[in-house]
Structure 1
Amino acid sequence: MSHFCYIDRSRKGLSTPGRAAFFCGRVRLFGGRRGRKNSSVQEGKNGFTGGRLWTYTESRNDSTPPHPDDRGRAEQGGVMQQTAAGALGTNYSKGKIFCSFYTKGEEIFNAVSHIAGAAFGLIAWALTLFFAYPDRAAMAAVSVFGASIVILYTMSALYHFLPDGRAKGIFRIFDHCTIYLLIAGTYTPYCVIALGGTAVGFWVLLVEWLCAAAGIAMNAAAMNNKVVKGISMALYFTMGWLAIFVFPPLISAISPLSLWLLLGGGIAYTGGIVFFALGRKVKWFHSVWHIFDLAGTALQFASILLLLL
């Protein structure tokens, strides 16, 4: 029975693994190298900066899952645990568990905030459908937008809500993949309603959804590969700000207020990237990233709603 625990030495409150005592599975590890008799501990590098992947292998036959209280990380030590899905891609072999990057308090906030985001998405979907009626093309476009909001925030809430384990690792992949859905889904109403019937609208929409498909495929296959991570971040940014290349026709097609709300949403999403990047090292920064997400979604929803009025 093997468990994989990730210790981030760079996170505030923990300088070396020797200062932390935590549980992995049902066996307590001190300093990473001391274990029970007939057991072994190995240290190996992984794809994360400032940390190690510690592999603990028990020779005894014990299939009992780890108790939630046996993680001993988080609030004081700043220890993060990472396993199969996060450090080893999609290799969910028996005995490997995925552990959260964040403290229990952070995860509760992360889950609740994006449950609120999913609820907001349902309201936004209903409102935009109401004002788009009876234009079928507009109704289809805002349905794509509304569905993308609901799907992203639902996947994210489930990822943060689920306890450590294989399912959490799988939903982490879903969480990252649905970012592409939301970006392309947000562009859809602008291309169909504001730029509908134009070559610019058609090509922007096509590029957005092709990029989304490519990004989802890459993340599903190898989300933790360093090259894929770099491409993903570049793709998020490029897809999000593709609108700057079509500003002239967009400015003439939508109201000034709608344009400013669109830009404000883009700035909120982009500004939150700083907190996202530091979320594993600084407590609560990932939660702040969630707030920026919600602000960006709300601003761009208001912009799209103005297209229909």
Structure 2
Amino acid sequence: MKAQKSKKMGFMAMKLDMSKAYDRVKWEYVARIMEKLGFCEKGAFGTVYKGVLASDSKRFVAVKKLGKVVEEGEKEFKTEVSVIGQTHHKNLVRLLGYCDEGQNRLLVYEYMSNGSLASFLFGISRPHWNQRVQIAFGIARGLMYLHEECSTQIIHCDIKPQNILLDEYFTPRIADFGLAKLLLAEQTRAARTGIRGTIGYFAPEWFRKVSISVKVDVYSFGVMLLEIICCKSSVAFSLGEEEALVDWAYECYKDKKLDKLIENDEEARNDMKRLERLVIVAIWCIQEDPSLRPSMKKVTQMLEGVIEVSVPPSPSLFTSSPPSFKK
């Protein structure tokens, strides 16, 4: 990475060798860049800035600067570089460069011009129904890639709207692999770890002494799919209501009152068959028993109507009678 002053842009520009998957960056260059970068937001592990490539003044980047290099932050950094560096999919954010000199830890990503899915869904105006559906499909495909198509299986562990970014075409990109759990095929059944993720999206098995698998991401996706359908935040919903969003959604489905989920959304009302399919898929995803949840490949197929979806049981019931989805 090289730094040069950009009078037109008002901050330092960054030049990366785009012939590589990603670049290792000299801190002496990054330090100068960071002084001039536009501030984006502050996250759990540090601050995110905005920059521009010197080789292309129209191409912006996001630089994530870790605030403290403690054990947890160090682990996140190394995991993120390792994971993103070996992945490539249209529904994943691409890593362009990184810095790991001394105590300095930075990651350079593609800049997503339309912000997070959270801002998109929970803003003043409700996004179009068809656009929301396509975003849900894209996220499902990205997770299927992480779970089943990477050489090393990846569990994200923190799927939520804040970690889904939207590019200029509103294509969803899964971001923030800092909490990702890499598992070799022979380890997937035996891995155990501390709780990772965000309240409201935790799969029940995080609180039990059981093995953690890709099904924790399936659960989180199910919660987020309901948020995409309703344009309601599961966290905000639980603060204002006596029941959780997932329980309310299941009650609406059971009582055949799906119109309550979409209120005055005429586009969704005119697409009730697909709405019902999406709700059913979400209910399968949020089953408390992980063995009842479908794989992300099955989820993708069900969402797209490639395979039929059966009637789901109550998410909170543990029973062996309903059919389970096998990978």
- Asked if these proteins are the same fold (TM beyond 0.5), I'd say no
TM-score if structure 1 supplies the norm length? 0.28
Which of the pair has the greater relative contact order for Cα pairs under 8 Å at 6+ separation?
A: 1
TM-score if structure 2 supplies the norm length? 0.27
The structure with the greater share of residues assigned to strand is: 2
Please say which structure displays the higher CA radius of gyration: 1
